[in-house]
């Protein structure tokens, strides 16, 4: 699998990441072991998790599976989210450093390669939050740091602060939802990331599963949209506008002789600034479908058609508002 640098760093990661949000909840240990083996056999090395996935079980499961192969992987995890609490996000120094220690214990390692802030916390001064990232890097518990789900101004502020002060740990990555069904980051976050040398790691690159085409003729009983837990997560992408984009992806896939998910994944993988889409496959079969996209390059005409049909609305003062 081809590798890319993570932003303006020397760290190289495979251009497809393996997500673990379902591990320890919908994906059991045997299935997770099969997923990890298939991913590593394909040349992948970036595994993304978080302290809240499966209420910590995703990290614990991953920790059991990486014993003896830790050095082969680039492990990325996240902190900030506080489930079952009145305070949804906590990016205080106290919480972050305790959360990092807890993640390391579950993972069974003394460092993570990329430690990410899961969301922006309005209740904590940014300087305090960023200082905690510096402490993590200087202590050796994290090699690189990143953020996730930040707005354009939040990313620009954090990355600029880290670059302006000597000795601070630079923001290496930003993890954002990005797909043909969700192109909102193209307004501000994407341009800011490219300008500041921050690598983009798209999550849900298959539009919460909708771009696979599985919902074109209804809701499969074994799909996330059929579950009480995830129905609300998928529903926003089951609109008439989304259906037109899914139809265009399916038309392209028919013409190329590949699966719709390969088309959708290749489109986002090759967007400007993207380092590695994070694919949250629940089964080895789903992962094999995603891995098949490694050999696909979209023809210019197809890419242009998909760009046009999914173009996000731009207005003042979005990036590019005066070029349309």
Where do the domains of the chain lie, and which CATH numbers do they carry?
Answer: 3-208+272-298 (3.20.20.100)
Q: What's the pLDDT score for residue 324?
A: 58
SS (H, E, C) the chain: CCEEECCCCCCEEECCEEECCCECCCECHHHHHHHHHHHHHCCCCEEECCCCHHHHHHHHHHHHHCCCCHHHCEEEEEECECCCCCCCECCCHHHHHHHHHHHHHHHCCCCEEEEEECCCCCCCCHHHHHHHHHHHHHCCCEEEEEEECCCHHHHHHHHHHHHHCCCCCCEEEEEEECECCECHHHCCHHHHHHHHCCEEEEECCCCCCHHHCCCCCCCCCCCHHHCCCCHHHHHHHCCHHHHHHHHHHHHHHHHHCCCHHHHHHHHHHCCCCECCCEECCCCHHHHHHHHHHHHCCCCHHHHHHHHHHCCCCCCCCCCCHHHC
Q: What's the pLDDT score for residue 225?
A: 58
Residues with pLDDT less than 70, the chain:
221-222, 224-228, 324
Going 29 to 34 to 35 to 36, the CA torsion angle's sign is positive
The single residue listed with the structure tokens 């069974």 is 108
**Structure-block tokens of residue 95:** 């919480």
Omega prior to 309 cis, within 30 of 0:
no
Find the farthest-apart pair of alpha carbons in the chain and give their distance in angstroms, rounded.
56
CA dist 219 to 180, 227, 279, Å?
A: 20, 10, 21
305 Cα distance to chain centroid: 25
d(CA 223, CA 213): 12
Q: One of 53, 144, 215, 237 is an active-site residue; which one?
A: 53
Verify whether residue 111 is a known catalytic residue. no
Contacts of 185 (CB under 8 A, 6+ apart): 176, 177, 178, 200
Q: What's the pLDDT score for residue 145?
A: 98
d(CA 139, CA 143): 9
Q: What's the pLDDT score for residue 67?
A: 96
């Amino acid at each position: 699998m081809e590798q890319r640098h993570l932003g303006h760093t020397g760290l190289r990661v495979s251009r497809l990441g393996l997500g673990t949000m379902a591990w320890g909840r919908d994906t059991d240990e045997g299935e997770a072991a099969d997923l990890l083996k298939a991913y590593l056999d394909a040349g992948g090395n970036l595994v993304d998790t978080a302290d809240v996935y499966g209420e910590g079980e995703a990290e614990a499961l991953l920790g059991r599976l990486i014993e003896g192969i830790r050095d082969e992987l680039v492990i990325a995890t996240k902190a900030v989210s506080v489930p079952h609490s009145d305070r949804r996000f906590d990016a205080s120094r106290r919480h972050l450093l305790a959360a990092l220690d807890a993640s390391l214990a579950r993972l069974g390692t003394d460092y993570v390669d990329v430690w990410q802030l899961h969301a922006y916390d309005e209740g904590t001064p940014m300087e305090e939050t960023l200082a905690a990232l510096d402490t993590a890097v200087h202590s050796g518990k994290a090699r690189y740091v990143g953020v996730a789900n930040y707005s354009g101004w939040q990313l620009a502020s954090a990355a600029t602060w880290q670059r302006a002060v000597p000795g601070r740990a630079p923001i290496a990555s930003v993890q954002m939802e990005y797909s043909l069904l969700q192109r909102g980051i193209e307004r501000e976050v994407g341009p800011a990331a490219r300008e500041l040398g921050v690598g983009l790691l798209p999550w849900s690159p298959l539009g919460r599963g909708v771009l696979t085409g599985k919902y074109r003729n209804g809701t499969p009983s074994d799909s996330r949209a059929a579950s009480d837990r995830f129905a609300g997560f998928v529903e926003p992408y089951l609109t008439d506008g989304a259906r037109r984009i899914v139809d265009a992806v399916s038309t392209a896939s028919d013409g190329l002789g590949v699966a719709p998910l390969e088309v959708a994944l290749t489109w986002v993988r090759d967007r400007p600034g993207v380092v590695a889409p994070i694919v949250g496959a629940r089964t080895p079969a789903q992962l094999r479908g995603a891995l098949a996209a490694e050999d696909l390059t979209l023809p210019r005409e197809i890419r242009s058609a998909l760009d046009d049909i999914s173009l996000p609305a731009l207005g003042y003062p979005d990036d590019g508002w005066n070029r349309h």
